A and B are shown apart, each in its own frame.
Chain A
Amino acid sequence: MKKKFCYWSISWGDYDHICQSLVDSAIGVGIEEDFIVFSEKPIKNCINHRLDDSIELDRLQFFKFEYLKKQLSKLDYEYFIFIDADHFFVRHPHMDIDKIMNGSPWHSFLESPVNSHRTKRQDWWGIPNNTLCSAMYQNGVQSAEIRNTNGGFWICHRNFINRASELAYEFHNHLKARGYTVPEEVSIGYLSHLMSPDVTDRYLEKYVNYWASDWVGTFRDKLPYDHQWDYTSYMTYEKLTVQPAIVHAMRSKTALINKSK
């Protein structure tokens, strides 16, 4: 019988330790959904598979889409939640996935506007804001506001896997042809806009109890804990008070390694 969703991740090298901490944190807060990890070294307390040698671990991280197509699509879940290894569960998220998806086959949290009068940064991944917006519009996005996203956490419906991958590559190649070779994160953001006619369904501020990215280092070199903190919007530097169950602990890598070593 098809299960509603699973979490999945990929790791190698030191990230195997980081990933072990992620899995342990998930178990620690009482996550009962399956957690699937593809890793170099064995990871405990999850469904662990060896890395697929046929998939190149490319610098731009499109390998995530390759795993999705080649490995995950074989599995019987309705949704697949990709979670980068450097995440940490500080409490149970009690995730209502249908509410988050709200009919869409794709989700990532859209964080911060690139085309607003509040926007402070001039580019995202080196793509000037106007160029990024034009590329989005030329490729079918119809929302007025365009935002950046974080590629570390996203959700895909099993029946959208192949199309998601095709669209991600198409958008990547569109930008590449214009001189911008950027990581998969930009395509992930594109998909979130394209597949949500009401793009506010993807806005981070609706989900501050679920997830947030600690890219400024609020928990630098420490393990995140269940605590209210100020998230800084990437493009506008505006502050947003959050208390997420799942923290993208980008600046806590050493602490995450040490925890499981």
Chain B
Amino acid sequence: MNMKKNIFFFQWPSNLGGADTRLKDLITGLNKLNKYNLYCIPLDEFRLKEKENVNFLKENNVNILYWDNLPKQVDGYAISFCNFRLFSEKWRILKIKEMGLKFIWSNDMMWTTPEEMQCLNEGLIDMYLFTSDFHKQILENKSPDIKKNKSYILPNYFNFDAYKKIPKKKSTDKFIIGKVSRSDEMKFSENFPLFYEKIPVKNSFFSIMGVNDNIKNKYSWFDFNKDKWELLNENAKSSIAFLSQLDLYVFNANHKYIENQSRAIIEAQLIGVPTVVPNYGNFSNMIWHGRTGYTFDNMNECYYYINLLSKNKTLLKEMSENTREFSKKIWCDINNQNFHLENIFNMLDNVE
């Protein structure tokens, strides 16, 4: 008799975007535990033609279903990260509930949507997940209705084995500084090109992935010199290939944007790239200042730390090793992630 619990992921894994990569890593981890029957349901049927993702799911013993062939009634849990179409196309969330599944929703963003809140108030979300205490505070402040619901803090999980640094193809005397994000203006400070250009490191080279035409147009007042800059489209390379070439991950976002649990920063750390980021949002909970990277309070500090790391290769190497080790302990423990998941399931099943 199969006593495994059923988990239905109403989301599709991919290498692009925090939520989809989060799912991918979680599936890998849960498959290793061999405790659950895993199912994956994409929103759009064309996803079933994505060979790489389909193969990934098969290799990890995930059953692929589509909305037409979902079971009518089934015991188990539905999980989705950041998939807001479940609410804007309301028949989807209604279908999940009609199946008898307990719906666990992780918003993953720093904002909520009206449709999401409407579904919450109608009791269609059984468990509301936050990724950090910081995330919980921000969202509960913005949308107090969340407080009425069952909630839980489930941090991101990372599959450590997937984050292996790819050796650089050729050696360079350039000190490569960069960042990766989705192509969103909010991920770029108003002074974005100058923020990097003014870094006081003579042999610096800037590599930025996640730039689109809107972003290039916004900063058209700046002359991006090809000898110093590489601007890549979103997903131009795998994040691992991109991050592997960096000596230092330096990030600064638009002041209107609050960063919570940036997967890109954790991925950089897992690859062993130290990070320098502003001291705001949730960064101080992701970076051990002075050990795995630096958080800065002003530009003087920012440039001081970058300069320090560029000049002191021993410190850079030590920090690189620290950051990989530290992130592995914090973010890559599948038993800890599973402990949290079991807590969530127990709360939903009213098991004390």
- Chain A interface (Cβ < 8 Å from any Cβ of B): 103-105, 138-140, 142-144, 157-160, 163, 167, 194-199
Contact = CB atoms under 8 A, between A and B. Distances in A.
Contact of A167 (B190, B220, B221, B297): B190
A140 B255 contact: yes
A198 B299 contact: yes
Interface residues of B, number: 23
B191 A139 contact: no
Most buried by A among B191, B197, B256, B300: B191
Interface string B167-199: 000000000000000000000011101110110
B192 to A, nearest CB: 10
Given A103-B222, A157-B221, A142 B302 contact: yes
Given A103-B222, A144-B298, A198-B303, 7 more contacts: A104-B194, A105-B222, A143-B299, A144-B299, A158-B221, A167-B190, A196-B194
- List the 9 shortest-distance A-B pairs measured between CB atoms, nearest first: A140-B255, A105-B221, A159-B221, A144-B298, A157-B221, A159-B220, A198-B198, A160-B221, A197-B198
Interface in B297-327: 297-300, 302-303
B194 A197 contact: yes
B190 A103 contact: no
B178 to A, nearest CB: 16
Contact of B300 (A140, A144, A160): A144
B190 A195 contact: yes
B18 interface: no
B177 to A, nearest CB: 14
Given A103-B194, A167-B190, A197-B191, A140 B254 contact: yes
Interface in B307-352: none
Contacts of A143: 298-300
B343 to A, nearest CB: 37
A140 B298 contact: no
Contacts of A144: 297-300
B299 A140 contact: no
B13 interface: no
B197 A103 contact: yes
A5 B267 CA distance: 45
A199 B190 contact: no
Given A159-B221, A167-B190, A196-B191, A138 B255 contact: yes
A1 B332 CA distance: 58
26 contacts: A103-B198, A103-B222, A104-B191, A105-B221, A139-B255, A140-B190, A140-B254, A140-B255, A140-B256, A142-B278, A144-B299, A144-B300, A157-B221, A158-B221, A159-B221, A160-B221, A194-B190, A195-B194, A196-B191, A197-B191, A197-B195, A197-B198, A197-B299, A198-B198, A198-B299, A198-B303
A196 B255 CA distance: 15
A138 B221 CA distance: 24
A143 B191 CA distance: 12
B218 interface: yes
A143 B278 CA distance: 12
A163 B191 contact: no
A159 B297 CA distance: 30
A190 to B, nearest CB: 11
Contacts of B278: 142
A196 B298 CA distance: 12
A163 B218 CA distance: 8
B130 to A, nearest CB: 24
B191 A195 contact: yes
A158 B222 CA distance: 11
A140 B189 contact: yes
A196 B197 CA distance: 11
A183 to B, nearest CB: 22
Nearest to B195: A197
Contacts of A139: 255
A159 B302 CA distance: 28
A104 B195 CA distance: 10
Interface in B135-151: none
Contacts of B300: 143-144
Contacts of B195: 197
B345 to A, nearest CB: 41
Nearest to A105: B221
A238 B321 CA distance: 50
Nearest to A157: B221
A138 to B, nearest CB: 7
Most buried by A among B194, B221, B222, B300: B221
Contacts of B299: 142-144, 197-199
A103 B298 contact: no
A172 to B, nearest CB: 16
Contacts of B298: 142-144
Contacts of B193: 103
B339 to A, nearest CB: 39
